[in-house]
Amino acid sequence: MEQIIGKQSVEFENPAHIIAGASIVGKKEGEGPLGSLFDLVGDDYLFGEKTWELAEGALQREAAQIAIGKAKLESWQIRYVFSGDLLEQIIATSFGLENLQIPLFGIYGACSTVGEGLSLASMIVSGGFARYVLAIASSHFGSAEKQFRFPLGYANQRPLSTTYTVTGSGAFVLAKEGGKCKIAGITSGKVVDFGVEDSMNMGACMAPAAGDTIYQNFIDFNRSPQDYDKIITGDLGYVGQEILIKLLKDKGFDISQQHTDCGIEIYDRETQDTHSGGSGCGCAATTLSAYILPKIESGEWKKVLFVPTGALMSKISFNEGESVPGIAHGVVLEHC
Amino acid sequence: MDDLKKKRNKDYNDYVKQVTPTHSLPLNMCKAFLVGGIICIIGQAITNFCLNADMEKDVAGGWTSLILILCSVLLTGLNIYPSIAKFGGAGALVPITGFANSVAAPAIEYQKEGQVFGIGCKIFTIAGPVILYGIFSSWVLGLIYYILTKVGVF
């Protein structure tokens, strides 16, 4: 069977299985609609650490340990870990995973990181290069605000198109067999830039990238939206969702029935004051682990196209007047 | 960039503008008026109190600024000022209390990066431009005033 299909996709002959998923989140996420589904909810945002950056590292470490425990493995049995976060030089990953002593591939895909990690991990497992691989992603409201926006205490009015960075980390153990969810295929995304310069409207920056990847997935796999029970993007929020549905309608696909977005699911915008929704690597990662994965494992959803989205924003290029490019990685998850 | 891509980006940006929700301007202006007004009333009350205590006008003004700054810094530390600004917008940002907040917030946030490279280097990351261009524009205006007095306009 040919595994390389279409322009950007792979359909695995021996798909990797997600045998365990773990999620840990902050207080605000714990108070949201998915609150009871997470494995661990922190009492505060520091998780026993001194700084936001170390706290984010602790999130990754905790998530990894819970996932490894759920898979009934020891950390030495994990061959590789793919992990990333939003911070410069992905320091949360380095600090968080040092004590696990597992060979690490650090990755950066902004908020699409979990999709990138799962894609690479599934190829490694499917290719027979490792028995067990870990994929992790994290974000933290405090560290992200500090790096990309303002100090937390700074008083300002957030535009309605902004999203709220999720404090949380999701970790997944992939293996050749076991579990009830397999990664049947992937559609890897290109950098897509429609020239949006407003970093306070990341949904609009990323929607074209999500549209591009989802469209390519339909073409490469010769599928239509009806072939999926759900098409779930990472953190487009309400603004990005509207744009994505329109962009794909223009290309002849109506995903309005199947589509939802992790950024929409994770918060209640009426009571939690999160405007357009949630964002950050942790948004897609924790929602996948707590909300999507159990539904696939139970068979309620048989086939899901999971598309974490990333706004490849740098504060420097933003100040230099450049636009915010987007990227989105498609992962086809199937009940098995 | 070719023209086709330029046109695509322009069309997309126009469309994004249409579908992106924004705060209601008249409502925001009312809230700003209310919050800014309240801060000014408090300032006036402090000034009146000082004047009644037989202070010179300049001294009373100095005390008013100092007390407002102190209140703003305290409210920033207690994480209350951001909520005031979230409601009041420019009404909370433009008065001296907003300026104090923009200095106190980085001081709190960057304290973990050390006294020199943290607080020292970054305390004016937000207020810095206001200070620089404020001083620069007053220098320019002073220069114009000086020239006008020399040529006998004033």
Q: What is the pLDDT of residues A187-207, one digit of tens each?
A: 999 999 999 999 999 999 999
Query: Does residue B118 share a domain with residue B135?
Result: no
Query: Does residue B100 share a domain with residue B79?
Result: yes
What's the pLDDT score for residue B2?
83
Domain count, chain A: 2
Cβ contact, residue pair B112, A155, below 8 Å: no
What's the pLDDT score for residue B153?
82
Query: Does residue A211 share a domain with residue A149?
Result: no
Query: Does residue B130 share a domain with residue B75?
Result: no
Helix, strand or coil, per DSSP, at residue A261: strand
User: Over the range A40-74, which residues count as b (16 or more CB within 10 Å of their CB) and which as e?
Assistant: bbbeebbbeeeebbbbbbbbbbbbbbbbbebbebe
Averaged pLDDT for residues A268-279? 94
Show which of A157, A175, A193 is a domain's final residue.
A175
Answer for the pair A83, A106: CB distance below 8 angstroms, yes or no: yes
pLDDT digits (tens, 9 = 90+) for A289-302: 999 999 999 999 99
Sign of the CA dihedral A106, A111, A116, A119?
positive
Inform me whether the C-beta atom of residue B108 falls under 8 Å from chain A C-beta atoms: yes
The answer to whether residue B3 sits within a structural domain is: no
Inform me whether the C-beta atom of residue A38 falls under 8 Å from chain B C-beta atoms: no
Inform me whether the C-beta atom of residue B99 falls under 8 Å from chain A C-beta atoms: no
- Rounded to whole angstroms, how far apart are CA atoms B72 and B92? 10
> ipTM of the assembly?
0.90
Whether residue A183 is predicted with pLDDT greater than 90 in this model: the reply is: yes
Grade residue A1 by pLDDT with cuts at 50, 70 and 90.
confident
Cβ contact, residue pair A159, B126, below 8 Å: no
Q: Which residues of chain B have pLDDT under 50?
A: none
Query: Does residue B146 share a domain with residue B86?
Result: no
The answer to whether residue B151 sits within a structural domain is: yes
pLDDT digits (tens, 9 = 90+) for A234-243: 999 999 999 9
* Nearest residue in A to B72, CA atom: A155
Sign of the CA dihedral A199, A204, A205, A206?
positive
Whether residue A97 is predicted with pLDDT greater than 70 in this model: the reply is: yes
- What proportions of chain A, in percent to the nearest 5, are helix, strand and coil? 40, 25, 35
Query: Does residue A190 share a domain with residue A156?
Result: no
Scan residues 203-232 of A and list those with Cβ closer than 8 Å to B.
Answer: 204, 208
What's the pLDDT score for residue B1?
63
User: What's the length of chain B?
Assistant: 154
pLDDT digits (tens, 9 = 90+) for A32-78: 999 999 999 999 899 999 999 999 999 999 999 999 999 999 999 99
Averaged pLDDT for residues A96-123? 97
Averaged pLDDT for residues A195-221? 96
pLDDT digits (tens, 9 = 90+) for A154-173: 988 999 999 999 999 999 99
Q: Residue A51 sits in which domain range?
A: 4-175
What's the pLDDT score for residue B154?
75
Whether residue A27 is predicted with pLDDT greater than 80 in this model: the reply is: yes
Query: Does residue A199 share a domain with residue A162?
Result: no
Query: Does residue A170 share a domain with residue A106?
Result: yes
On chain A, the residues whose CB falls within 8 A of the CB of B84 are 155
Give the Cβ contact number of residue A108 at 10 Å: 18
Query: Does residue A127 share a domain with residue A94?
Result: yes
Whether residue A288 is predicted with pLDDT greater than 80 in this model: the reply is: yes
Q: Residue B117 sits in which domain range?
A: 24-123
What's the pLDDT score for residue A222?
97
Answer for the pair A140, A130: CB distance below 8 angstroms, yes or no: no
Report CA-CA distances (Å) from A211 to A11, A191, A276, A328.
Answer: 20, 12, 18, 9
Q: What angle do CA A183, A225, A308 make, to 5 degrees?
A: 50
Answer for the pair A211, A251: CB distance below 8 angstroms, yes or no: yes
Inform me whether the C-beta atom of residue B21 falls under 8 Å from chain A C-beta atoms: yes
Cβ contact, residue pair A153, B79, below 8 Å: yes
- Beta strands per DSSP E along A74-178: 80-84, 104-106, 132-139, 164-165, 168-175
What's the pLDDT score for residue A132?
98
Query: Does residue B51 share a domain with residue B119?
Result: yes
Query: Does residue B65 share a domain with residue B40?
Result: yes
Query: Does residue B109 share a domain with residue B71?
Result: yes
Query: Does residue A199 share a domain with residue A108?
Result: no
- Rounded to whole angstroms, how far apart are CA atoms A202 and A210? 12
Inform me whether the C-beta atom of residue A1 falls under 8 Å from chain B C-beta atoms: no
Cβ contact, residue pair B108, A153, below 8 Å: yes
Show which of A123, A156, A175 is a domain's final residue.
A175
Query: Does residue A95 share a domain with residue A165?
Result: yes
On chain A, the residues whose CB falls within 8 A of the CB of B79 are 153
Q: Which of A166, A118, A333 is nearest to A266 (CA)?
A: A166
Domain count, chain B: 2
Query: Does residue A26 share a domain with residue A166?
Result: yes
